[in-house]
Amino acid sequence: MALIDQLIEALRVLPGVGPKSAQRMAYHVLERERVGGKRLADVLAQAVEQIRHCARCRDFSETEVCAICASASRDAHLLCAVDRPPIVWRSNRRRAIAACISSCRAA
Ligand SMILES: [Zn+2]
């Protein structure tokens, strides 16, 4: 299989990316964004190798236990475990944890 076809096929692992979208992305990277494409490839390879789930809360983390769970100021009696971190999780994690705890307490 030609390298460009392998690239298009590889891009299809992303959710919502069909054959036409994958082809458009591949052409865009090759025609206009080679530096960005190289950076994407490098960061993606590192992320897939190095990011795992926190052993306590299951959020994504580069260490066995994430920074929030490892924080000395964190209340060790409270745990907000997630099955799969939602997309909005990263941008406002502390507020999401507070909401989760409130809802658990109300139940
Ligand atoms: Zn954690």
Q: Ligand 1 center to residue 23 CA distance, Å? A: 37
| 45, 20, 29, 8 alpha-carbon torsion, rounded to 10° | 40
Question: What is the pTM for the complete model shown?
Answer: 0.67
Which listed CATH number (3.40.630.30, 3.40.50.1010, 3.30.450.40, 1.10.8.420) goes with 3-50? 1.10.8.420
pLDDT at 95: 66
For ligand 1, an ion, list residues with CB under 5 A. Answer: 54, 56-57, 66, 69
Question: Domain locations in the chain?
Answer: 3-50, 52-106
pLDDT tens for residues 11-43? Answer: 999 999 999 999 999 999 999 999 999 999 999
